A and B are shown apart, each in its own frame.
Chain A
Amino acid sequence: MLLALAVIGVVYAALSPETGRAEATVSASVKDVTEGKRLFDQSCASCHGLNAEGTKTGPSLIGVGAAAVDFQVGTGRMPAANPGAQMPRKRPVFDDQQTKALAAYVASLGGGPAIPSKEQVDPATGDAALGQSLFITNCAQCHNFAGGGGALTGGKKAPDLHETTPSHIYSAMITGPQAMPVFNDTTVTPEQKRAIIAYIVETREEPNPGGFGLDRLGPVSEGLVGWVVGLGLIVAAAVWITAKQREND
């Protein structure tokens, strides 16, 4: 056990400088941080606290990192319109520049994962086959194997991934927003994350002919819908045809 702990210590030590460097690049300009602080005080502090320390209605944001801000604000989930089981995706309130400033401010409070670079999330360079095998064992249970999303407990849901940008997919994996688990870079490496992104994006582009998409649930489910809806219409027609006519019709 002692030996194991020692090993862990060594591994940690080996990794820490790297993560430190990654965070250093985020901290951006002082101007961004000041602007971010101003926006934060206006729109975020009421729930997350004046120093992002968290309140009863919102969690602490110290150490969540720029990636979390980029995901939550960039997809419009934050600022939240009203507290509830699910913070839905909506039109972003802040533009890219403001989101960047907020991210810089939150990152300055205590590090955390950085916003991924463009190249880090480029689906064209990812191995979609590897991405599929990781996606179907670790993501598909909630998001459906083609990224269609699905229901969770207590009114929560896993959103569909049809519109999500590669950068936001990456940020979601690394920060674990809302009910989503975290996939840190040492468990699922950046390259594997890029593979997962490649799978999601390539799956979107696959042709999906024939009627309603139904999130690629397949011909059996589509057939079931066909039967239920089609038979329903046929039954309705049969009822109409055989309805008793009025006496003097």
Chain B
Amino acid sequence: MTDNDNTNGSAGVPGEEPADGAETRRPRVIGTPPPAESHRLLSTDTPETDGDPYAAGPYPGMAHERSEERIRSGVRWAALFFVIAFLGSVAFVAGYVIFQVGDLWQTKWSNMALGGSLTVILLAIASGMTMWVRRVMPHYDVVDERHPLPSEQPEKQDFGKFFMAGAKESGFTRYPLLRRTLMLAMAPLGLLPLVLLRDLGPLPEKKLRHTDWKKGTKLVVDGTGEPLRAADFSSPGGIITVVPEGKEHDLDSIAKSTVLLIKLRPEELELTEEQMNWTYDGIIAYSKICTHVGCPAALYEQSTHRILCPCHQSTFDARKAAKVTFGPAARPLPMLPITVDAEGYLVAQSDFHEPVGPSFWERG
């Protein structure tokens, strides 16, 4: 192999064959073998092919040279990948036959076989092509100048005249009745969607300000529907999710009314006197709906008394009326005033004293 005596710097590499100037070069067809007398894949320094301006490649004299050895190894690699792709096709058919679809697990193996072999096929074809491009095809640095984007002035004028002639011929300028009725037809079309806005439903009115908690509503455990005695919910560090009695299965109601009940030692609470009256023996009830964007904030850590919202890490201090200690929430979680009824069951004193959940337009 002689790499250094390439005199004209063309893409071709002088091979072991003599220059084939005398031969008539037949056009190559994709997929056919190269002419038996030559192993070269690229046209070389043979400008005498009659009349064909691209006989020496599209950019004669500009390609960087590659050693024949390197090209050959590229060819072998690409061919190897193409053979692997072929074997992948065989494996695909075999996999289809071998792994029958039935229950979940059989289906899984079938999917794995089909998907896996298809992956191998596509990946091998792509890898082979990449090898081909990078190792075999000639490599140029070519600059193509871009032509200016705007059209020439006469062309523009010509188009303007053509357009106006067409408009005149259509009668758009000549018959005002036609023009105006068309505009009448088109104008409301843009406004039609406004009418459909009505389908969004009635305005929420006061619904966002109230929940289903009322004076005397029992707190029942979400999931079992059983009411809860204050004496039973007695272990400090305890939590339980409660909903209003009678609304256990009303998801629309629970979406607003759900409450996280926490039992602390009464001396741990740091509340105003009014807020203290909303608790009962260290049992404190917070809306479970985060005031940021309404995720259920219920990750209560009994060791730190933090209530964490998992969505954006808003953190509330359960001892201090759910004061925000971290995160994007703008307000504490609303407190539900609670007490016990004559039988010792936990009940609400009233509804929440402020709207629960995230801010809304008219909240004020």
Interface residues of A (CB under 8 A from B): 3-4, 7-8, 11-12, 130, 133-134, 136-138, 141-142, 150, 152-154, 156, 158, 176, 178-184, 186-188, 192, 207, 209-210, 237, 241, 245, 247-249
Contact = CB atoms under 8 A, between A and B. Distances in A.
B300 interface: yes
Given A133-B222, A153-B308, A154-B304, A181 B237 contact: yes
Contacts of B64: 245, 247-249
B342 interface: yes
B222 A183 contact: no
Residue of A4, A181, A186, A249 contacting most chain B CB atoms (<10 Å): A181
Nearest to A6: B344
Contact of A207 (B105, B134, B240): B105
B303 A4 contact: no
Contact of B301 (A133, A150, A179, A249): A179
Interface stretch (B38-46, B197-205, B228-236): B228-236
Interface residues of B, number: 50
B241 A138 contact: yes
Nearest to B223: A133
Contacts of A134: 221, 223-224
B299 A141 contact: yes
B232 A156 contact: no
A245 B134 contact: yes
Nearest to B126: A237
B108 interface: yes
B215 to A, nearest CB: 16
Nearest to A192: B224
Contact of B234 (A130, A179, A186, A249): A186
A207 B308 CA distance: 32
A186 B239 CA distance: 12
Contacts of A130: 223-224
A181 B298 CA distance: 11
B303 A179 contact: yes
B310 A141 contact: yes
28 contacts: A4-B341, A7-B342, A7-B343, A11-B229, A133-B223, A133-B224, A134-B223, A136-B223, A153-B301, A153-B315, A176-B235, A176-B238, A179-B303, A181-B302, A182-B235, A182-B236, A182-B302, A183-B240, A184-B238, A186-B231, A186-B233, A187-B228, A187-B235, A187-B238, A207-B105, A237-B126, A241-B130, A247-B64
A156 B299 CA distance: 12
Interface string B310-337: 1001010000000000100000000000
A209 B302 contact: no
Given A152-B301, A187-B233, 15 more contacts: A11-B229, A11-B232, A133-B224, A136-B223, A138-B222, A154-B304, A179-B301, A181-B237, A181-B238, A182-B235, A182-B236, A184-B238, A186-B232, A245-B134, A249-B134
Contact of A187 (B232, B296, B343): B232
B296 A184 contact: no
Contacts of B209: none
Contacts of A247: 64
B86 to A, nearest CB: 22
Nearest to B64: A248
Interface of B: 64-66, 104-105, 108, 126, 130, 133-134, 139, 221-224, 228-241, 262-263, 296, 298-304, 306, 308, 310, 313, 315, 326, 340-344
A247 B66 CA distance: 10
Nearest to B222: A137
**Interface-central residue, A137, A154, A158, A184, by most chain B CB under 10 Å:** A137
Contacts of B340: 4, 8
A14 to B, nearest CB: 10
A11 B229 CA distance: 9
A248 B236 contact: no
A156 B237 CA distance: 17
Contact of A153 (B65, B139, B262, B304): B304
Contacts of A248: 64-66
A153 B327 CA distance: 11
A210 B224 CA distance: 34
Nearest to B103: A207
A147 to B, nearest CB: 15
A240 B12 CA distance: 26
Contacts of B304: 153-154, 179
A207 B239 CA distance: 32
A141 B298 contact: yes
A176 B302 CA distance: 8
Nearest to A183: B238
A238 to B, nearest CB: 10
Nearest to A150: B310
B10 to A, nearest CB: 14
Nearest to A209: B108
Which 9 pairs show the lowest CB-CB distances between chains A and B? A186-B232, A133-B223, A179-B301, A184-B235, A137-B241, A181-B239, A7-B344, A8-B231, A141-B298
Nearest to B254: A137
